Amino acid sequence: EVQLVESGGGLVQAGGSLRLSCAASGFTVDDYAIAWFRQAPGKEREAVSCIRNSPDNTYYTDSVKGRFTISSDNAKNTVYLQMNSLKPEDTAVYYCAASTLGYCPGTDYMYYAMNYWGGGTLVTVSS
């Protein structure tokens, strides 16, 4: 059975760091595009980052470039999102999702391309 489980969320002060994990089962992350989304209260779900190995391909939304890094560990079948220099506006529920596409799709299509979703993990950044 295909399953995605996020972990690593929590409360952190502005300027701090967190590392989110997306553990996959039932498929190999190296064969899928894996994306991180976030949704803040009252706002639409936003694509944050995406990774597709073989071929190498990554995506970051402009607001997190230089602060967030997506990576994968094939041995653990897990994708990570390292979040540094966190800001209060990063506060949201973060979701990981997987697509059978062989690449990270464009922003307008990102949400619709995802086939599987995790349940989310809450990140709260205080001032």
> What pLDDT does residue 56 have?
83
Q: Give pLDDT, residue 106.
A: 87
pLDDT in tens, 66-75: 999 999 999 9
Residue 27: phi and psi, rounded to 5, are -160, 170
Query: What secondary structure letter does DSSP report for 86?
Result: -
pLDDT digits (tens, 9 = 90+) for 85-117: 999 999 999 999 999 998 999 888 999 999 999
Q: What is the mean pLDDT of the chain?
A: 96
Given a cut of 90, whether residue 54 has pLDDT beyond it is: no
